Amino acid sequence: MIAATTTGQAWGLLLVAGLLEIVWALGLKYSDGFTRWVPSVVVVIGAALSFWFLAAAMKVLPAGTAYAVWTGIGAAGTALLGIVLLGEPATLLRLGCVGLIVAGVLGLKMVS
């Protein structure tokens, strides 16, 4: 397993885990309910790697902080890419809510 020995390394692993969460979350949409082979494989591999990097980061970072940041990266990234790639609505309220998620993630990073 990949191991973080410093807080900076753990945050790097957590960033990778969050980006992989975006990959598998969007892959779920493209898998069409796991009826399409390639996106389904991307989902399974992306999810496994995302959890693996999250677990490695949690060896150093507090569990609550790591999990909240991981889900925040995934939620904000998936929402933004849903707007860009899938034509989902980009209302001011929706973007404001994504901004609140990002603010929460940055706040947790600053206090941890």
As for how many domains the chain has, the answer is 1
| 35 inside domain | yes
| 1 inside domain | no
Residue-wise pLDDT tens digits, 5-39: 899 999 999 999 999 999 999 999 999 999 999 99
| 2 inside domain | no
Residue-wise pLDDT tens digits, 30-42: 999 999 999 999 9
DSSP state of 59: T
| 87 inside domain | yes
| 52 inside domain | yes
Residue-wise pLDDT tens digits, 82-108: 999 999 999 999 999 999 999 999 999
| 41 inside domain | yes
Domain membership of residue 72 as a residue range: 7-111
Cβ atoms of 42 and 36 closer than 8 Å: no
**Alpha-carbon span 17 to 100, nearest angstrom:** 20
